[in-house]
Structures are given as structure tokens and as C-alpha cells.
Structure 1
């Protein structure tokens, strides 16, 4: 298995804040989302757009993945945002409030018409009740000619607002939606990023939610402050014990006597070939993270 791009920590940075954008170039986050939507006031949209486009073109973000979140198609800033983002050439463009695959196809058409590089991917925010009901169709937009969809991002605060669900410890009110989004992403070969944790004073609660997201299967978590990066990076990375165990499983299946076997005995337990595939992914993630150091 080839190395993959880690997305443990996905930090939103307001596009209107030049100091924050500059600071992002030195932060240990895997991904930086330069935001033109929620964090930018209406009167600052145009300036933020220009500032973000300039920063993306200038680069200097190192190994960090750079994503631009544009405003939604029902806003007066959408067309200019998308045009500026395409011209700047980030790693991905994050589309907000995606409720059907049409929004993704429309953005793909704009990218194609502009002759944009194939490397520019699309990410989709899943943050409306309608998006939850249409998750299969949205995630399936990752297939077909010209498909660019690479990642689903959960907008849990917006989901809470629109459904009136309460944000409670353990998030049992949202688990069905989180799990459905994760299943839709995996069924279509997509990454999936968990929603934000808004209480910056509750480090223990944040860490617990990171661990929950990891255990559900998310690739990482969206963040609202640099202070959250370290905990997210730790939670969504394989531990040394997990890496050691994974290497042991891989080595066991590579022994000549186990060639072609679907099940083997290792350290007193039965291990299937699928566990070797899971182990290979664990090692690939660990090596990808190590390569960023």
C-alpha cells in the first residue's frame, strides 16, 4: 500500500485575518482550511477572497494541505469565490452546505471549463438534514468522468441548529448521522472528517471527542483553534503499540509457510488476511505521518 495524506488535524483559519494565515504556515496541522464563509463578515468577503487567493498562490505552506472554503451557491459571493479559488490553485475547494450531488457536479464543470489542474479536489460539507438523507447520492459523486470529490466534512453545529438536536457529551444525539456519513464515504472511497468541538476551555472533552471520532472511523477532526492541533494529531495517529502489532501481522503473513493462507495463528489468536490489509493501512498512515516530520 502506498503512503497516504494524513488529515488528522484540519484547521479552519479566517480568510479575513492576514496574521492567522501567515501563522498557519508554521502550525503542525495536516490541513489548513482558509475560510471565506462562516468566519468572514459580509463586509469583509471581498477583501478576504483576495487575501486568500494571494496566500494560496504564494504558497509556503510546506507539507500542509491547503483548502479554500467558498461561500454557498445561494449567496452573492459564490461565483467570485469559486473563480478566485480555481485561479489560485489550492489542493482542494470545500463546498458548504452540500445537499445534493448537483452542487458538486456544478463545481466540477466550473473547474473543467477553467482548465484547472486535475490535482485540485473538491470537499463537501455535510451539514443539513437533507444532506444526511441524500448521503449515498452525494458520496457517489466521487465516481464518473471528471469526478473530483475526495472528502466529506461534517458540520455538526449546523446539523444541531437545523435538527434542534442537543450537543451532549458523547454525541449520542448525532451518532446515527455520523455513522451514516462515514459509511457513505467509505463506500465511495472518500475520506471523512469529523465536526468541530466548540468549547475551547474543555480540553478533556475535546480529547474524548477526538477519540470517539477516531473509533468511529473518521480520518481526522476539523478544528477552530491551533491549541487543538496536538490532541487531534495524537488521537488520529496510530500508537507505537498499534504500529508494532501491525508490522507483526504483516511479517507473519509474509512468511513462506503462510503464503496463500487466509487465516493464521499469531501469538495465540486467529488472524485473517483482512487483518493484514488493515495492518498495511496502519503502517502506511504511520509512514505518511513520519514523512511530514
Structure 2
């Protein structure tokens, strides 16, 4: 069965010792950040240090979040990273149009992941999600989006969150991961936020500290009751063809079986 990634751990590219700790922290993917976590006068150093590291294969998949395409650093980031053997993907911040995806796809064979961080990006979510075969995922950058929309409460993001979940599905992409929870001490709040994200259709979450990883994984792994329900559905589907009702009244069809299989795939992470 497919192993769905649930955790993406960010580490600043200008702090190689932090990147080294991140690689050993147990995340499904490490994201080396050249953008928000790096001051302008450290951009060149961060790029060089990251390129040096990624000339060799790494123990876990590594993505790099490059600088936004309209900044003076983006072209150098792409040129330095485009073909490194230790790199598994590029994360593109502040994407607002499908043309930006196609522009980067011409320059690198790497899988691409778009971050939508503005009202314009949300409006173009489906077009961006289907822009190019190299694009493997979309997700939100909620701090910038919150500022762009002038939101005062977290509930104001539920509309954009649902929009990006629908756009990803409509384009045939994997469910998006949640944006980071910025308070690394607030693990209860993180767990509650993950439960809300899971209910909205997200799968997994980005993190900014290793202590957040087990909370995210627990929140997104199926419960024993969900596993039992999925096993019952798969068994019923194997015994009979077509749509049917289980003894407890639940209706089973192809879509329900697909969801049950994903539940069991996630359960195998245990």
C-alpha cells in the first residue's frame, strides 16, 4: 500500500547544524528553507550551504523552499539546486498563477509544490494545481494569507482551506498538508488544529520544531475504531459486487471503499 507522508519539518538553510538535526528527527520530509527563515544578507550563504549538502543523497526526502520567483534570489536558487541528487522536490512560495509553475518546470526535472499565500493565489488555485505534470501538490501559506486578507480570527481561513482541498482533488493531486502551527509550545492547540484540518480534508502538516511531529502524526493516523470500520468495509466489498448496505445501515459503494483503503494504508504507519 502507498505510504502517505504526514510530516514536513522546516529547517533554515543558513543553519546547517539545525538542518542536520532535522534530518534525524523522524519527519517524513525535511524542508530546507531559503525564504522566510533566512535574512537577506544570509541568502547566498544559505543557498551555498544547502547545495553543498544536497550534492549527496540524504537519509530522508529533502525539499527546498526557494525564494519567491519575483525576488532577486529566485533565479540563483533554481540554478544552484535544479539537478542535485540529494533533492527530492522544490517548494515554490507565493505562487499566484499557473504560468509561474510552467516557468520553473522548464528549468528543472524536480517535482514541484506550490504554496498559495495570497487572495490571488487562492482565486487561481485550480489553474495552478493543473498547470503542469511536474506539480505534485499545493498547500497554503497561512501567515501571509491571513495578512493579505486582513483576518482577525482563524475561522476566516476555513474558506481558503476548503478551496485548496477541492482544487487539489479536482486536479488529481494528493490532499494538501496543513500550514505550520507557529507556537511550538502549544501542543494541545496544535492537536486541536490538526483535528480541524483533518475534518476539512487535509492530510498531514508542516512543522517548525521536532516536538510537533508526534502530535501531527497522532492526529492524522486513524483511530482503532476507524481501522475496524475500514476493515469491515473492505471485507464486505470483497464478498459482494456493487453498492450495498452493511448490517448497521452504513452504505458502501466504490467511493467508500477507496476511503477505507486509504485509512488502512495510513494505519500501516503504526
User: TM-score scaled by structure 2?
Assistant: 0.94
Question: SS of the residue aligned with 1:172?
Answer: helix
The 5-angstrom pairing of residues 165-176 of structure 1 reads 165-166=151-152, 168=153, 171-176=154-159
Match of 2:162 in 1: 179
Residue 150 of structure 2 is aligned to residue 150 of structure 1: no
Aligned mates of 1:131, 1:233 — CA distance in 2 = 28
Which 4+ runs in 1 deviate beyond 3 A? 266-270
Output the CA distance in 2 between the equivalents of 1:240 and 1:66: 31
Measured in 2, the distance between the counterparts of 1:15 and 1:102 equals 27
Query: 1:139·1:188 contact (CA, 8 Å) conserved in 2?
Result: yes
**Deviation of residue 201 (structure 1)?**
2.7
1:133 and 2:123 matched: yes
Q: Does 1:230 align with 2:214?
A: yes
Contact 1:252–1:266 (CA<8 Å) still a contact in 2?
Answer: no
2:112 to 122, 129, 147: 122
- Find the counterpart in structure 1 of residue 177 from structure 2: 193
1:262/1:272 contact within 8 Å kept: yes
Is 1:80 the counterpart of 2:76 in the alignment? yes
Offset from partner CA, 1:196-255 (integer Å, 9 cap, x none): 111223221111101111111111111111111110011112223222221221012112
Corresponding residue for residue 21 of structure 1: 19
The one of 208, 217, 221 equivalent to 2:205 is 221
1:11 to 1, 9, 12: 9
Q: Deviations over 1:8-46 (max 9, x none)?
A: 111111001111111122112111110000001111111
Which protein, 1 or 2, shows the higher relative CO under an 8 Å CA cutoff with sep ≥ 6?
1
Q: Find 1:163's aligned residue among 149, 156, 164.
A: 149
CA distance in 2, matches of 1:194, 1:265: 33
Matches of 1:24 and 1:200, distance apart in 2:
15
Unaligned runs of 5+ in 2: none
CA distance in 2, matches of 1:232, 1:47: 31
Match of 1:281 in 2: 262
Q: How many residue pairs were aligned?
A: 268
Structure 1, unpaired ranges of 5+: none
- In 2: Cα distance, 1:273 partner to 1:94 partner: 33
Among 90, 93, 106, the alignment partner of 1:93 is 90
Structure 1 equivalent of residue 43 of structure 2 = 45
Following TM superposition, by how much is the alpha carbon of 1:286 offset from its aligned partner in structure 2, in angstroms? 2.6
Work out which of the residue numbers 45, 61, 67 in structure 2 matches 1:65.
Answer: 61
The equivalent residue for 2:233 is: 249
Aligned to 1:58, the other structure's residue is in SS state coil
Contact 1:54–1:88, Cα closer than 8 Å, also in 2: no
C-alpha RMSD of the superposition = 1.6
CA distance in 1, matches of 2:77, 2:250: 55
- Residue of structure 1 aligned with 2:245, choices 261, 264, 289: 264
